[in-house]
Amino acid sequence: MSTPSRPAGTSPSDHAPSTAQGALATRANRYEELLQLFVQAPGFVCFFRGPEHVYELANEAHAQLAQHKDIMGKSVREAFPELAEQGYFKILDDVYNSGQAFVGHALPLAIKPAPDIPAEQRFIDLVYQPIYSQDGEVIGIFSQGHDVTDRVLAETALKERQAELERLIEERTNALGAANAALELARKLQIDKMHLLQLFEQAPGFTAVILGADHRFEIANQAYYRLVGGRNLIGRTVREALPELIDQGFFELLDQVYVTGEPYIGRSIAATLQANPDVPSVTLYLDFIYQPILGADGKPIGIFVQGNDVTSQKNAQDEVRRYQNDLEKMIAERTVALDETRAALAHAQKLESVGKLTGGVAHDFNNILQVIGGNLHLLRAMTDNNPATTKRLEIALRAVDRGAKLSGQLLAFARRQPLQPAVINLARTVRNMDDMLRRALGEAIDIEIIGGGGLWNTQVDPGQLENVLLNLALNSRDAMNGCGKLTIEIANAMLDDEYIASIPDIKPGQYVVLSVSDTGAGMTPDVLEQAIEPFFTTKPPGDGTGLGLSMAYGFVKQSGGHFKIYSEPGVGTTVRIYLPRSLEREDATPDDMERAVVGGSETILVVEDDKDVQLTVVSLLQELGYQVLKADDAESALSILKSGVHVDLLFSDVVMPGNLRSPELARQAKLLLPNIAVLFTSGYTQNAIVHGGRLDPGVHLLSKPYRREQLAKKVRSLLED
Identify any residues that bridge with 102 across adjacent strands, giving them in sequence order.
Answer: 128
Single-letter code of the amino acid located at 135: D
Is residue 266 classed as helix, strand or coil in its secondary structure?
strand
Q: Is residue 295 part of a domain?
A: yes
Alpha-carbon distance 609 to 615, whole Å?
A: 10
- For β-strands 677-682 and 649-653, DSSP reports them as parallel
Question: Does position 194 have pLDDT exceeding 50, yes or no?
Answer: yes
Single out the residue in 279, 309, 339 at which a domain terminates.
309
Whether residues 568 and 616 fall in one domain:
no
Contact between residue 487 and residue 476 where contact means Cβ atoms under 8 Å apart: no
Helices (H), 115-192: 149-189
Kindly provide the b/e burial profile for residues 199-227, where b requires at least 16 CB atoms within 10 angstroms of the residue's own CB: bbeebebbbbbbbeeebbbbbbbebbeeb
Q: Is residue 252 part of a domain?
A: yes
Whether residues 179 and 111 fall in one domain:
no
Kindly provide the b/e burial profile for residues 575-590, where b requires at least 16 CB atoms within 10 angstroms of the residue's own CB: bbbbbbbbeeeeeeee
Helices 149-189 and 193-201: angle between axes, nearest 10 degrees: 150
Number of compact structural domains in the chain: 4
- 3-state helix, strand, coil split of the chain in percent (to 5) is 45, 25, 30
Single out the residue in 582, 616, 644 at which a domain terminates.
582
Whether residues 138 and 224 fall in one domain:
no
Minimal CA–CA distance to 637: which of 675, 666, 612?
666
pLDDT band at residue 8 under the 50/70/90 scheme: very low
pTM value is 0.38
Contact between residue 636 and residue 657 where contact means Cβ atoms under 8 Å apart: no
Whether residues 558 and 478 fall in one domain:
yes
Whether residues 295 and 191 fall in one domain:
yes
- Tell me whether residue 278 is exposed, middle or buried, using C-beta atoms within 10 angstroms of its C-beta: 0 to 12, 13 to 18, 19 or more: exposed
Question: Does position 75 have pLDDT exceeding 90, yes or no?
Answer: yes
Contact between residue 321 and residue 340 where contact means Cβ atoms under 8 Å apart: no
CA 83 to chain centre: 32
Model confidence over 301-340: pLDDT tens digits? 999 998 898 888 888 888 888 888 888 888 887 777 676 6
Q: Is residue 75 part of a domain?
A: yes
Q: What is the average per-residue pLDDT within 486-503?
A: 85
- Tell me whether residue 424 is exposed, middle or buried, using C-beta atoms within 10 angstroms of its C-beta: 0 to 12, 13 to 18, 19 or more: buried
pLDDT at 633: 92
Q: Name the helix (H) or strand (E) containing 545.
A: none
* 470 contacts: CB under 8 Å, gap ≥ 6: 433, 436, 437, 440
Contact between residue 143 and residue 48 where contact means Cβ atoms under 8 Å apart: yes
Model confidence over 94-112: pLDDT tens digits? 999 999 999 999 899 988 8
CA distances in angstroms from 395 to 379, 617, 620, listed in the order given: 13, 21, 20
Single out the residue in 147, 164, 192 at which a domain terminates.
147
Whole-number percent of the chain with pLDDT over 70: 75
Q: Is residue 404 part of a domain?
A: no
pLDDT at 689: 57
Whether residues 280 and 178 fall in one domain:
yes
Question: Does position 593 have pLDDT exceeding 50, yes or no?
Answer: no
Q: Is residue 284 part of a domain?
A: yes
Contact between residue 371 and residue 396 where contact means Cβ atoms under 8 Å apart: no
Q: Looking at 34-48, 50-64, 390-404, 488-502, which range is the least confident one?
A: 390-404
Contact between residue 383 and residue 389 where contact means Cβ atoms under 8 Å apart: yes
DSSP 357-396: HHHHHHHHHHHHHHHHHHHHHHHHTTSTT-HHHHHHHHHH
| Residue 510 main-chain phi, psi, to 5 deg | -95, 135
Whether residues 523 and 568 fall in one domain:
yes
CATH code for the domain in which residue 610 is found: 3.40.50.2300
Q: Looking at 47-51, 240-244, 694-698, which range is the least confident one?
A: 694-698
- For β-strands 572-582 and 562-568, DSSP reports them as antiparallel
Q: What is the average per-residue pLDDT within 464-476?
A: 84
- Tell me whether residue 721 is exposed, middle or buried, using C-beta atoms within 10 angstroms of its C-beta: 0 to 12, 13 to 18, 19 or more: exposed
**What is the CA angle 425-428-431, rounded to 5?**
150
Is residue 574 classed as helix, strand or coil in its secondary structure?
strand
CATH code for the domain in which residue 474 is found: 3.30.565.10
Q: What is the DSSP code (8-state) at residue 609?
A: S
* 712 contacts: CB under 8 Å, gap ≥ 6: 597, 598, 599, 624
Q: Is residue 12 part of a domain?
A: no
Minimal CA–CA distance to 308: which of 329, 285, 290?
285
Model confidence over 517-570: pLDDT tens digits? 999 888 888 888 777 776 566 665 545 544 567 777 877 887 888 888 998 898
Q: Name the helix (H) or strand (E) containing 672.
A: helix 662-672
Alpha-carbon distance 632 to 277, whole Å?
A: 106
CATH code for the domain in which residue 218 is found: 3.30.450.20
Q: Is residue 590 part of a domain?
A: no
CA distances in angstroms from 564 to 516, 529, 549, listed in the order given: 11, 11, 11
**What are the contacts of 543-546 at 24+ separation with CB within 8 A?**
543/478, 544/478, 545/406, 545/409
Output the average pLDDT for the chain. Answer: 80
Whether residues 53 and 142 fall in one domain:
yes
Whether residues 691 and 577 fall in one domain:
no
Alpha-carbon distance 457 to 580, whole Å?
A: 9
Q: What is the average per-residue pLDDT within 35-63?
A: 85
Alpha-carbon distance 573 to 122, whole Å?
A: 59
Q: What is the DSSP code (8-state) at residue 114?
A: S
Q: Looking at 295-299, 433-437, 666-670, which range is the least confident one?
A: 433-437
Q: Is residue 281 part of a domain?
A: yes
pLDDT at 15: 47
Whether residues 127 and 211 fall in one domain:
no
| Residue 559 main-chain phi, psi, to 5 deg | -85, 5
pLDDT at 694: 57
- For β-strands 206-211 and 216-220, DSSP reports them as antiparallel
Whether residues 483 and 578 fall in one domain:
yes
Domain of 89?
32-147
Contact between residue 701 and residue 685 where contact means Cβ atoms under 8 Å apart: yes
Question: Does position 26 have pLDDT exceeding 80, yes or no?
Answer: no
pLDDT at 6: 42
Whether residues 199 and 239 fall in one domain:
yes
Minimal CA–CA distance to 363: which of 691, 37, 682, 95?
682
Q: Name the helix (H) or strand (E) containing 147.
A: strand 138-147
Q: Name the helix (H) or strand (E) containing 208.
A: strand 206-211
Q: What is the average per-residue pLDDT within 116-124?
A: 87
Alpha-carbon distance 486 to 196, whole Å?
A: 94
